[in-house]
Structure 1
Amino acid sequence: MRVKKPPRLYFSFRSPFSWLALRRLEERLPQAREIIEFVPYWDPDPITAAGLEERDAGFHYTQMSKAKHLYILQDTKRLVAEHGHRMAWPIDVDPWWELPHLAWIKARHLGQDRVFYDAVTRARWERGEDICEVDVLSAALEQAGLDPEPLVSAVDDPAIREEGLDALVQAWHDDIFGIPYFKVGRHRFWGLDRLDAYLDVLLPTLQELPVPAATTLDDVPVPVLERVGGADHDTAGGCG
């Protein structure tokens, strides 16, 4: 399979499955953030929703029922315990998801997106903090050694707002309906349990991807290479 575009990963600070999937992904492929295009995805506020409408786009995700929410709570606790992670379930009260996601876009401009992501996911999933509150997010960023002011003020930056809108328009055209969502070439994978299948397709394509010169197959962990037959160009193992 020839890949013309870099692989893409839609993530959200809201989703526990996104958090767990990215942890597992980087355990298997430490260079993931250099190889894969990360795209933020979140429930739009009225301003963003109006922008989507103006661009003939929408938002495929629909709010879950109480029953589904309770199942996800139980399932997430089970998965966290299975993998030995620490977790404190956050309580979201009228969350404003633009705040952390647009701040992440600003952090990416500043070359701080990795530190930002780690700080925010620790705050949300390990300490149960409300990262949609300015004071809480600022404190988490300060604790990570970042200057919070330019990051939390990103929601007031028209250029960052437009870039965030572009991400959600792209998600609309990519038919993203849930998180995490992985794409490589024509292949699509939704959910934490599809991560291995995604890697089965992704790894054999790495030599064809427009990635930094320093990233080579030699950088890929041996256990991952062995699992997909040395990341050669034969048919990828597993289903797509």
Structure 2
Amino acid sequence: MGTRAKAEGLQVKQIDYYLALQSPWVYLAGRRPAEIAAQHGARLVYKPLDPAALFPRTGGKVRDERHPSRNSYAAEDRARQAKLLGVDLREPLFRSPNAAPAAYALIAAQSAGGGDLAGYVQAIGRAMWAEGKDIGDDEVIAAALASNGFDPKVADRGMLMAAETYGANLEEAVTAGVFGVPFFVTGGARFWGQDRLDMLDAHLGGRL
């Protein structure tokens, strides 16, 4: 579909995917954003950002500032959703990792091309939420890159560019009306949460 659209001179739709690699909801989204984009011939652009910097600017709060009842419900809800999706999800051993290096690696890998970006995102999420690993660890990041077809040193070469892009993604997100993750923006339409992926699919298919 994407090839035909280009051949006919039509503009290929782009989906801006704002995400945080440490988010359980991004982990639960899995490969579905990439699959939906491919189904509709759309270009999925990964835009990792720091949610701790996003929330205060858009009316949200980080986990430690939320009421305990809200955090308790979120834990129940993600466990239910994981069960429905057949996804292995456990409470992480490293609750507050430094996710910036993994995000830089995603940005650098996307720029370099040639690998499976959705697989990398899924591998980082699985490392945190199923395998009890620290996603800020260089070896964890390198393994996720290598297992998805990227040079494990790609982040080292693109560090400066990736750091600048990471900060720019935050500013772009605020301007676009993004206030949480995962968040999808395509054209003038916005979709928040992995539980809105069916709506994104319907929108791209002209059914919504």
> 1:3-42, aligned counterparts within 5 Å?
6-26=14-34, 30-31=38-39, 35-42=43-50
Unaligned runs of 5+ in 1: 53-57, 205-227, 229-235
Q: In the alignment, which of 115, 130, 134 is matched to residue 134 of structure 2?
A: 130
Cα distance change of structure 1 residues 99 and 154 upon mapping to structure 2, 3 Å threshold: farther
> 1:181-200, aligned counterparts within 5 Å?
181-200=183-202
> 1:1-240, aligned counterparts within 5 Å?
6-26=14-34, 30-31=38-39, 35-43=43-51, 59-60=57-58, 61-64=60-63, 65=66, 66-111=68-113, 112=115, 114=117, 115-142=119-146, 146-151=150-155, 153=156, 157-204=159-206, 228=207, 236=208
Most deviating of 117-126 and 21-30: 21-30
The SS at the match of 1:7 is: strand
Aligned residue type for 2:47: V
Cα distance change of structure 1 residues 32 and 89 upon mapping to structure 2, 3 Å threshold: farther
CA contact under 8 A between 1:184 and 1:201: conserved in structure 2?
A: no
Displacement over 6 Å in runs of 4+: 2-5
Unaligned runs of 5+ in 2: 1-9
Within 2, Cα distance between the matches of 1:110 and 1:140? Answer: 15
Within 1, Cα distance between the matches of 2:41 and 2:126? Answer: 18
The SS at the match of 2:31 is: helix
Work out the number of aligned pairs and report it.
192
Deviations 1:34-88 (A, max 9, x none): 52222212246xxxx7xx9xxxxx7434213243233222211111111222223
Give % identity. 29
The SS at the match of 2:46 is: strand
Partner of 2:3: none
Deviations 1:103-143 (A, max 9, x none): 11011122135243243233223313220122433344455
Larger radius of gyration: 1
TM-score in terms of structure 1 length: 0.66
Cα distance change of structure 1 residues 77 and 144 upon mapping to structure 2, 3 Å threshold: same
The offset of 1:3, in angstroms, is: 7.9
The SS at the match of 2:141 is: helix
The SS at the match of 2:14 is: coil
CA-based RMSD: 3.2
TM-score in terms of structure 2 length: 0.75
